[in-house]
Amino acid sequence: MQSQFLAAINQLCDEKGIPKDRVLETIKAALRAAYRKDYGNRDQNIEVELNDSAEGTVVYLLKEVVKKVESPEQEMTVAEAKKYKKTPKVGDTIKIDVTPLEYGRIAAQSAKQVIIQRIQEAERDIMYDTFKDRENELINALVHRVEGNNVYVNLDNKITTMLTRDQQIPRERYYGGQRLKLYLDKVIKTTKGPQLLISRTHENLVRKLMELEIPEIKQELVEIKGIAREPGVRSKVSVNSNDPKIDPIGSCVGQKGVRVTNVMDELNGERIDIIQWSENVEEYIKAALAPAKVAHLDIDEEGKRVSVYVQPDQRPLAIGKEGQNVRLASRLTGYELDIMDIGELSEEDAAKLKPEVENVAELAETTGLAPEIIEKLEAANLTQVAQLKGLSAKDLTGLEDLTEEEAEAIVEAVKGVA
């Protein structure tokens, strides 16, 4: 083994990104196998030394010094050992130089395929270790070629793998040179190299894209609590803020909707509904069924089933096209949702329903708020009941000269209809 060959090994390691010691050990193993095949036998304990100098490769036969020889290929007596060492003792390992004269040429020829195979194995192991650490991450890909329903993509210019049909977004078109973002679900070690399970349909692709586009999510100021997805069509994402000063929905939507639009564009125009997560099951289900307005919920906690009562004009919205809205809401909340007409509600429950009130004029009619209070609210541009929800008496006191008593009356009136 000449220093020129070792220089070639160094170049190979740099090109393939393989540790030099791993390649050298692979070559040593191949040369040991070649020696045993052409000059020795499989029972011999062979050691190979690779040197940088012109002296090349040295092959040693290793034998242990014993009192009584039971395996001649691996053992020798003290008397035999004295040929190689002045004062041998039992337990010593004797290295005998058995390098054949033409070993370099014969070994190279015999070991060539073994070396290639071992280096390929080392490459596969390196590739496995590289991508194993990136499981559950977003990964950049370049479409290499399309064959029928299968799309072959190059990941980070390191490995080409297949995006199977079941992991493709329905009706999304793929072409050579196209850049995609994929979700790396799992990496499996096989004899042919690492198998990468990649996806464009996984729910976590939406999560990772939102982390990329929305700094508040990346910084964990806003938390994604749940995702329900029908790839390429629609997703519902529930979010919650860990900072009371941050609006989770506004953070996700962005100015003029630019943040959520960027995510939708990456998903081939898939619609994304951002909703407010709540610990209160009733509020969470109502938010999940938006844009439909829910009149009443009958919740069976034990059976995880909910009867959702809506007005007749809200029923199509609640169900959605081909049942999509209720299906996604059900998966998001973890409850089986049955959409019912308000007319099917029992008289007792119907009597408990709060009247539907949208503006402050209707609020006055329903709750009897004084006209002067309504005038002050309108002067403050608070004309919709939705604007008053969540406001305390302290928030309202002083607005357009509203007194503390008037502010408390407004809060109680809103509670009666909200």
Task: Mark whether 101 and 160 lie in a shared domain.
Answer: no
Tell me which of 162 and 414 has the higher pLDDT: 162
CA-based torsion, 377, 381, 382, 383: positive or negative: positive
Task: Mark whether 267 and 396 lie in a shared domain.
Answer: no
**What letter does residue 256 receive in the DSSP assignment?**
G
Distance from C-alpha of 79 to C-alpha of 85, rounded to nearest angstrom: 10
Name the pLDDT band for 54 (thresholds 50, 70, 90).
Answer: very low
CATH number of the domain to which 192 belongs: 2.40.50.140
pLDDT tens for 97-147 read 888 876 666 556 655 666 677 677 777 787 788 888 889 999 999 999 999
Task: Mark whether 297 and 231 lie in a shared domain.
Answer: yes
pLDDT tens for 390-404 read 778 888 887 778 888
Task: Mark whether 189 and 212 lie in a shared domain.
Answer: no
Query: What total number of domains does the chain contain?
Result: 4
Task: Mark whether 115 and 151 lie in a shared domain.
Answer: no
Which of 177, 201, 225 represents a domain boundary (last residue)?
201
Task: Mark whether 285 and 410 lie in a shared domain.
Answer: no
Task: Mark whether 119 and 138 lie in a shared domain.
Answer: no
Name the pLDDT band for 41 (thresholds 50, 70, 90).
Answer: confident
Q: How far is CA 383 from the centre of its chain?
A: 45
Percent of all residues in the chain with a pLDDT value above 90, rounded to a whole number: 38
Which of 201, 227, 253 represents a domain boundary (last residue)?
201
Percent of all residues in the chain with a pLDDT value above 70, rounded to a whole number: 89
Task: Mark whether 313 and 217 lie in a shared domain.
Answer: yes
Residue 307 is part of which domain span? Answer: 208-352
Task: Mark whether 35 and 124 lie in a shared domain.
Answer: yes
Task: Mark whether 389 and 413 lie in a shared domain.
Answer: yes
CATH number of the domain to which 312 belongs: 3.30.300.20
CATH number of the domain to which 29 belongs: 3.30.1480.10
**What DSSP letter does each residue of 168-193 carry, written as one string?**
SPTT----TT-EEEEEEEEEEEETTE
pLDDT at residue number 258:
93
Which residues have C-beta within 8 Å of that of residue 163, sequence separation ≥ 6?
141, 150, 151, 152, 153, 174, 182, 198, 199, 200
pLDDT at residue number 238:
96
Residue 87, pLDDT > 50, answer: yes
pLDDT at residue number 371:
85
pTM for the model stands at: 0.66
Which of 201, 232, 259 represents a domain boundary (last residue)?
201
Contact criterion met (CB below 8 Å) for 367 and 417: yes
pLDDT tens for 222-248 read 999 999 999 999 999 999 999 888 999
Strand-pairing partners, residue 150, are 147
The mean pLDDT value of the chain amounts to 85
Residue 1, pLDDT > 50, answer: no
Distance from C-alpha of 418 to C-alpha of 412, rounded to nearest angstrom: 10
Task: Mark whether 183 and 112 lie in a shared domain.
Answer: no
**Looking at residues 340-360, what average pLDDT do you find?**
68
pLDDT at residue number 56:
65
Task: Mark whether 242 and 303 lie in a shared domain.
Answer: yes
Q: What count of residues does the chain have?
A: 418
pLDDT at residue number 16:
66
pLDDT tens for 178-236 read 999 999 999 888 877 788 899 999 999 999 999 999 999 999 999 999 999 999 999 99
